[in-house]
Structure 1
Amino acid sequence: MRRYRRTVPKIGDGLDAVTAFAGSAAAGMSLFLPFTFGAGAEDNSPYHVTSLINSVPRAAALGLIVAVVVAVLARPINRPGLIWLTATAGAAALAVNYFVGRTMVSADVLTTQNYIDSLCGGVLFGALGICAWRMRWPATGFALGVVVVFVYGEVVAVFTSNSAATADKSAHTPVWLIVAAVVLLAVNTLRHRHGVMLPAVPRLAADLPISPIVAATVVSLSLLVATEWLGREFDGRRGNFWQIALAVAITVVAAFAAATLLPGRDGAGVLVAVSVAAAADSLGDASGLGWHLVLVLVVGAAAVLAGLRWGTSWGVLLGAAVICVFASVAQRFPWSYTWTAGTILVTCVAGLAVGSIRVSYLPSAVLGLGALYLPSILWSIPTGDRQWPTSTTVADESTPARAALAIIVGAAAGLLLLYRIRPAASENATVS
């Protein structure tokens, strides 16, 4: 990925950046969070709520695959207006599904609508990623939206029990964000309707356009299978070291396999994203962000800009390891202070990770960014701090941190091997 030149943003750049932020935030929430409960939903059945909970990682995996498919199909298009229009259509479908869902009273429908929510979000994420990642300021806005949603989804408890009546019903895409995304995307579609870009740089025959789709399928389904399998091992019994070790190995191998399927060193973003997601999952949950949202926005923006300017995958992996060490000792200190410090730490590392993505093929960036939303095996390791009702047993509080650290070490080994078998890209390489 070529280094962005320092330029003074214009009004149009600012509008593109705000649009990219709103769109990526709405798409990210549809991928990362469960579908909202309607005010009159029949929410007194633990079975229905558990079904919705189980659909969240599956919908995230499906949504990411859709996002990469859309990105691959959109990349060769040299009319930006058509890609913006695709993103607008995805956002509009997301809004329709949202408002229809608010009128439903049957909990059976929620799981289906959660999948539809992720499908629409995948279309929005993939198309908008291609639009935004070609330019500095839209890329910054898109990256900040990814970071904010990632931090929110990692540090806020989505469910606190098996009853929707006590679930946190605010953990969904807010209506104002969906409306803003649709309006801003429609405006940008009109702005770019006459634009024409140079054709994409022809790729070598070995770099098949379908390779990011295969990579997304491999990493998404592998992580999903490992997460659900480990969850079943903890369900009603106590999982052991070897079961966690096997899930860690599957995670690392799947991430490395996906990385090698991408051209050049584009796959580094997948290895980093899987590591950061696991590290963030090792922290405990809270009921909401509150005023910390402002802190996340400020720190996240600074971290993204730092990553765009000086980012390195090794630095991000080191930061992810620091999160794991912090999580293993956090319970010894007052909760409010450790949670604030953990939120800032996760925001810094996630911002650096997103800003550090360097690709030669734009769909690879969509996969690297979306991989942050994939299910982590740490979701299936129940602890007292992790309020995710997957099991009746509770593991040792330091177990998630150790598992995440093992994933990071494995990803670091995979990154070193990837760098050895793939030559470094030229500093003047362009994005295609």
Structure 2
Amino acid sequence: MGAKFASAQPVNAHPARDIRRYAGAVEAIGAFVGAVIAGLLLMAPLDVGATTGPSFQLDLLVLNMPRAAAAGAVFAVVSAALAIALGRRTAWVAAAGSSLVLLLDRLFTGQAVDNGNLTTVNYVDSIFSGILLGALAVAVFGRRAATSAYLIGALGAILLGDQTSLPSENRHDPLISWAATAIPPLWMFFLAVALLAAGLLLQRPAPHHHPNSDLPIGPIVAALLLVAATELSTEWVVRHTGTSTQVTIAAVITVIAALVAALLLPGRDGMLVLLSVAIANAGSAIIAVPRPEWSAPLPMIAVVAGLFAGRRWPLPWAGLWGTAGLSVFAACTAGTAHGTALVPVLGITATGLLVGYCFGAAVPRSAGSAVVAIAVLIVPSLVVALRGSSFGRIAYSPQWYRDPEGAASAVPGWVALAVTLGCGIGMFILYRLRTSPAVRRRIVARKSKPIREVQRPNRAFTQATASG
């Protein structure tokens, strides 16, 4: 009897193992919910249906939204870089802590609104959403299921926020207007805090892992360059009503900044950044509203399908040509899009497919590079500035969201096409500079799927551990 008790395991051993069996599921669900919250707060920060206060405060809030989004994008990249240097556990701490701050901020938002601090609330949301987005990328980096959930949540939420319709008293589409009225819901904040705290508690230190003390500077400088170039050029276009010469100069600045940022990233990680710049402008050029209520989940579903297709058939150049086609589609349908639901449905579906495909086909080797590409989608692009130049704001309408009754023009589509072609030239330059002569000789000899051969090593994004 004594021998039997002596050989038994401690009482707490089995429960600990049972709990850790669910660590992967907890990480994946937490990554999805956290990414959704961060993406929605960065892209759809204002409840225009319920927000009260003087009109000048609302105007000031909308005027500052692009800068708040830019601040959130920079904080996302900086937090990712710091988490890479300090280790995965630090990334989980930052993700759980920032989600808690967002929950507390959401609980006291009503008081801040009554006091007239709308802009301050928006900046707090944007900054801590950026920290959550960046830290969470490093926290799940290398775990295939959790990484996929993170990308689906972040990309899908960014698209939902970007394609949100301005609420109208004459239209009753609760799912379509959900992003502009009380999103994310309060229960989602509580769920995110609980899941991310559980994910932190379930982390086990690697037996032979030593944190990387070197801070990856490349992603930080790349993000600062891209965000600054985008923000300054778009504000300049809006202030000067966007003449053809000014738009051309802004487009050239955008492409050059994207290329330099791509070259600052290791290897061919910059391919995804160039693709993100192209798809950000093309996706902003489409007419996304009005559309039927049943189409609300299409962007998220399309992202999932595109991500799967990109991993299955990784051809970044196909993503670029698809983005060029989307730009032409946006230009050719601008005059008739508001009169039929088919064009907006096709536009949002194609945008989701292309965003997911690009992030699946040109996966970078480091979490920092991936966050830079996501940050590009957060900052309002040149095309958004063009669509807001008539009322002097970097927005789709004077109240930020897309207006189903707003004037449409083919110019944003053609500008998006020009930016896409410029990014294509940048991709070619990056490919030539970052591919060894030996690899190029093998590619030329085979004459078969050159981009698949070049991009195959980058698929380690879903398998490697976080590193600079």
TM tier, shorter chain?
0.7 to 0.9
Return the match for 2:314 from 305, 311, 322. Answer: 311
In structure 2, the residue matched to 1:410 is 422
2:296 match: secondary structure: helix
Question: 1:364 Cα deviation (Å)?
Answer: 1.0
Is contact 2:50-2:181 (8 Å) kept?
A: no
Query: Separation in 2 of the partners of 1:19 and 1:167?
Result: 22
Q: How does 1:414-429 map to 2 (within 5 A)?
A: 414-423=426-435, 427=457
**Corresponding position: 1:186 with 2:203:** no
In structure 2, the residue matched to 1:7 is none
Cα deviation, 1:10-49, whole Å, max 9, x if unaligned, reads 854333222111111111122222244695631x41x322
In structure 1, the residue matched to 2:231 is 224
Give, as a single letter, the amino acid of the residue that structure 2 aligns with 1:337. Answer: L
Task: Give the number of the structure whose residues are more often helix, by fraction.
Answer: 2
Query: Separation in 2 of the partners of 1:348 and 1:154?
Result: 15
TM-score by length of 1: 0.85
Is contact 2:85-2:216 (8 Å) kept?
A: no
Return the match for 2:52 from 33, 41, 50. Answer: 41
Return the match for 1:75 from 84, 87, 90. Answer: 84
Query: Separation in 1 of the partners of 2:211 and 2:362?
Result: 20
Query: Separation in 1 of the partners of 2:115 and 2:420?
Result: 38
Query: Separation in 2 of the partners of 1:197 and 1:246?
Result: 51
The RMSD of aligned alpha carbons is 3.0
The worse-fitting range, judged by mean Cα deviation, of 312-321 and 275-284 is 312-321
**Corresponding position: 1:154 with 2:183:** no
Question: 1:387 Cα deviation (Å)?
Answer: 4.2
Query: Separation in 2 of the partners of 1:169 and 1:377?
Result: 23
Query: Separation in 1 of the partners of 2:124 and 2:290?
Result: 26
In structure 1, the residue matched to 2:96 is 88
In structure 1, the residue matched to 2:133 is 125
Return the match for 1:341 from 343, 346, 351. Answer: 346
Question: 1:274 Cα deviation (Å)?
Answer: 0.9
In structure 2, the residue matched to 1:145 is 153
1:375 match: secondary structure: coil
Query: Separation in 2 of the partners of 1:144 and 1:426?
Result: 21
Change (3 A) 1:148 1:198: same
Structure with larger Rg:
2
In structure 2, the residue matched to 1:15 is 26
Question: 1:319 Cα deviation (Å)?
Answer: 1.5
In structure 2, the residue matched to 1:283 is 286
In structure 1, the residue matched to 2:378 is 373
Gaps of 5+ in 1: 1-9
Query: Separation in 1 of the partners of 2:418 and 2:349?
Result: 23
Question: 1:130 Cα deviation (Å)?
Answer: 0.5
Is contact 1:37-1:110 (8 Å) kept?
A: no
Is contact 2:32-2:149 (8 Å) kept?
A: yes
Gaps of 5+ in 2: 1-20, 170-176, 401-405, 436-453
| Percent of aligned pairs with the same amino acid | 31
In structure 2, the residue matched to 1:397 is 409
Query: Separation in 1 of the partners of 2:225 and 2:105?
Result: 28
Cα deviation, 1:339-394, whole Å, max 9, x if unaligned, reads 1111111110111122234223321111112221121011122379x842399xx9
Change (3 A) 1:402 1:32: same
Is contact 1:382-1:390 (8 Å) kept?
A: no
In structure 1, the residue matched to 2:174 is none
**Corresponding position: 1:62 with 2:71:** yes
Is contact 1:35-1:117 (8 Å) kept?
A: no
Return the match for 1:104 from 107, 112, 123. Answer: 112
Query: Separation in 2 of the partners of 1:102 and 1:344?
Result: 35
Change (3 A) 1:288 1:107: farther
In structure 2, the residue matched to 1:51 is 60
Give, as a single letter, the amino acid of the residue that structure 2 aligns with 1:380. Answer: A
Is contact 1:382-1:389 (8 Å) kept?
A: no
Is contact 1:86-1:123 (8 Å) kept?
A: yes
TM-score by length of 2: 0.79
**Corresponding position: 1:31 with 2:39:** no
